[in-house]
Amino acid sequence: MPLAFCQFPIWARTRSVWLLSGLAGLKMKDAVDFRRIAMDSPTASVFSLPELKDVFPGCSSYEELYNFSINETDLFWGTLARLRLRWSREFEKVSDCDMETGLFRWFVGGQLNVSVNCVDRHKEKDASRVALIWEKDEPGQEERVTYGELYTMMNQIANVLKSHGVVKGDRVAIYMPACPLAVASMLACARIGAIHSVVFAGFSAEALASRIIDAEAKVVITADQGVRGGKLIELKKTVVTAVANCPSVTAVLVAKRTGNPVVSSSLDVDLDEAMIKESGECEPAVLDSEDLLFMLYTSGSTGNPKGVAHSQAGYLLYASLTHKLVFDCNEGDIFGCVADIGWITGHSYVVYGPLANGVTTLLFESTPTYPDPGLCSAAGRYWETVQRLKVNQLYTAPTAIRLLLKHGNEHVDKYDLSSLRTLGSVGEPINVEAWHWYNKVVGKEKCVVVDTWWQTETGGICISPRPSAPGSEIRPGMPMRPMYGIWPTIIGEKGEELEGNNVTGALCLKKPWPGMARTIYGAHGRFLETYYRPFKGLYFTGDGAIRHNDGYYQITGRMDDVINVSGHRLGTAEVENALGQHHSVAESAVVGYPHDIKGEGIYAYVILKDGYVADAKTESELRATVRQKIAGYALPDVIQICTGLPKTRSGKIMRRILRKVAADQTEDLGDISTLADPSVVEDLIVHHRILR
Ligand code: PRX
């Protein structure tokens, strides 16, 4: 597909004529002796800029390689797939993708095993290299797991799963916080070709059950209790309640975290005991590139959360390449992503990316503000951990940065953070003040700060200031540059592609990439409808973005009814459905509003049925209902009980008005003349002012 030259941002246009002519004749075999490099050093640092020339002759800068990756997509990804992954059978075709029909296949005909790529090949080189550092809730109690130990744990769990009848293609739900057994469980699924569905260990029994039912999971893996911020989390109890309504589940494997007595059920299997009985060897399943590796539920603007499904080879290549390039992460580094494994950030940058690259990855069990002063200061937990473990790259969310910034610099300044080289941010737009604090106070202006934009559906980072030439400009508060192979475009209100720079609209991606989601589990129609129908031939991200004068990208936020609470995605409809299940609720409408720490807070407008009163008891019951149906992070920050909602004459709620009221922007409500009853708005404003 020829590229329209003018659609490249300015920085990417330089020398592209030279590049296209220079590379036109390049055949894959000319690029590099893949096998030699792959055998010598499967994760060799060949992608730092000085060495790029060896892999892609003619490309000596990010811009050149970027253009190459867009123009010669198959050559680019095929080269990297051969170089970076260990295959059981070579692929015959690099890609077979169609953005119009939503069918995507990468590395067609290839076979491999993800667990071999993440564990075996590093264990073969050096079994004593540390794979995981489990930073437990209490500081100073960290546990290290080597690649050799991880290999044994993974294989034992794989054998336990097999002995409970789990075969290739079966689904396994994992309801555990970040810990070595959770990682080993994910890899054990990959070992035997089972599809894992990790459910964030803060979700309620009902939310867990709905995910297990949707996936028809055969086995659930959990722990007796979790420990976070000094509090016990009743994981097993939640699982017992959940699986009571899940006929597909035939066994619950329970790991010991606290050893406290917990509720039991007839399905229970003591995971630690079962592992001891099993061999530490398990023949890896030979899987097709396109077999599914995992699914992960994420919120959309309508309906229930959807099981976004990723496949083996493409996902692994994309997660590992982006991990290496964006964070400049090399063998010997200690990579600290503090996300929970229940989210995509945990999948790609706690587990699969770092392990595929053979580095040491941190599993952070605690919170940024635990424990209380005395042990380490309340807001010093990250920094004390960085100092003690000598973390080289830290990856966290703007919400945590804003929270820590408020506590003051003294909590940071007392620790030695000189091991840090890269500071990453993900999950929501990072405000400029937080960016500067991260850069100056944490990074001492010596670290590379990367605001990384991506999604559960993209599998890995798509827009980020790095990779780019060392020393090249980084702007505060924006992810800036597309990753290799990622071609962003901005779509205007009429559905037209906006050319040139200084434009704002819907962010879409124009080209398939290996890490892209393949489907929504059991709902391919919904997959097409959500991502590929809005704009023909494009992947629609759901986000708005600006392409600035210089071609850099800035994300403006979701364009749909999804809100982003502390970097967690939440559908307003999910919260409304939960509220609607309380007996007092006649109707509700939920919107996001700007929140100092969380980015967006949850604002719920609720109309009660006749006979119910708006008092503190009702409010606390409403919150309890949301906790019971979804999770603690979904609790509304503000509940405004009202008598009416702004609706058009056809009955559609005008959320735009609700958002404005919630955000205190009532002087600028726009046209309200189309409302069935415009006086509703005045009532809402009056009550909102009383509440605030
Ligand atoms: O709105 C964007 C926001 O998070 C959404 C994706 O959420 P999720 O699938 O849960 O994945 C989060 C972690 C990758 C996006 O549609 N988002 C993510 N990163 C950024 C962001 N918004 C602005 N800037 C970012 N760096």
**How does pLDDT run across 111-155, given as a tens digit for each residue?**
999 999 999 999 999 999 999 999 999 998 999 999 999 999 999
456 lines ligand 1 (CB under 6 A): yes
Residue 49 clears pLDDT 60, i.e. is over it: no
Report how far Cα 158 is from the mean position of its chain's Cα atoms: 25
Q: Which residue from 543, 554, 572 has its CB within 8 A of the most atoms of ligand 1, so it is best to mutate?
A: 543
Which among 515, 472, 539 has a CA at the least distance from the CA of 80?
Answer: 515
For ligand 1, atom 15, which residue shows the shortest CA distance?
A: 455
Q: How many angstroms separate the Cα of 631 from the Cα of each of 225, 365, 570, 585, 604?
A: 17, 18, 11, 19, 16
Q: pLDDT per residue over 266-300, tens digit each?
A: 999 999 999 999 999 999 999 999 999 999 999 98
**All residues at 6 or more sequence positions from 431 whose CB lies less than 8 Å from its CB, including other chains:** 398, 402, 477
Give the whole-angstrom CA distance, residue 690 versus residue 341. 41
Burial class (CB in 10 A: 0-12, 13-18, 19+), 549: exposed
340 lines ligand 1 (CB under 6 A): no
Question: Is residue 59 within 8 Å of residue 72, measured between CB atoms?
Answer: no
- Given pLDDT bands bounded at 50, 70 and 90, which one contains residue 586? very high
The backbone torsions φ and ψ at residue 61, rounded to the nearest 5 degrees and listed phi first, read -140, 165
**All residues at 6 or more sequence positions from 658 whose CB lies less than 8 Å from its CB, including other chains:** 589, 591, 603, 605, 645, 646, 684
Q: Which two tokens stand for residue 642?
A: 């009202």
* 436 Cα to the center of ligand 1, angstroms: 20
For ligand 1, atom 21, which residue shows the shortest CA distance?
A: 428
Q: Which amino acid is at 587?
A: E
Q: pLDDT per residue over 528-554, tens digit each?
A: 999 999 999 999 999 999 999 999 999
Residue 494 clears pLDDT 60, i.e. is over it: yes
Write down the pTM of the prediction. 0.92
Question: Is residue 470 within 8 Å of residue 456, measured between CB atoms?
Answer: no
| Residue with tokens 């019971």, as numbered in its chain | 628
564 lines ligand 1 (CB under 6 A): yes
396 lines ligand 1 (CB under 6 A): no
Q: ipTM more than 0.90?
A: yes
164 lines ligand 1 (CB under 6 A): no
429 lines ligand 1 (CB under 6 A): yes
Q: How many CA atoms lie within 13 A of 326 on its CB side?
A: 35
Q: pLDDT per residue over 224-238, tens digit each?
A: 999 999 999 999 999
Residue 256: other Cβ atoms inside 10 A? 15
Ligand 1 atom index nearest CA of 479: 26
Q: Which amino acid is at 390?
A: K
479 lines ligand 1 (CB under 6 A): yes
Residue 241: other Cβ atoms inside 10 A? 17
C-alpha distance across the termini of the chain, in Å: 55
427 lines ligand 1 (CB under 6 A): yes
Report how far Cα 268 is from the mean position of its chain's Cα atoms: 30
Q: Which amino acid is at 509?
A: L
Q: Which amino acid is at 105?
A: R
452 lines ligand 1 (CB under 6 A): yes
H helices then E strands: how many in the chain? 26, 30
> Can you name the residues that pair with 497 across neighbouring β-strands?
491
Written as one string, the DSSP assignment of 395-435 is EE-HHHHHHHHHH-THHHHTS--TT--EEEEESSPPPHHHH
Sign of CA dihedral 638, 643, 646, 648: positive
Give the whole-angstrom CA distance, residue 311 versus residue 296. 12
pLDDT value for 54 = 74
Q: pLDDT per residue over 438-474, tens digit each?
A: 999 999 999 999 999 999 999 999 999 999 877 889 9
* 125 Cα to the center of ligand 1, angstroms: 36
Average pLDDT, the chain: 91
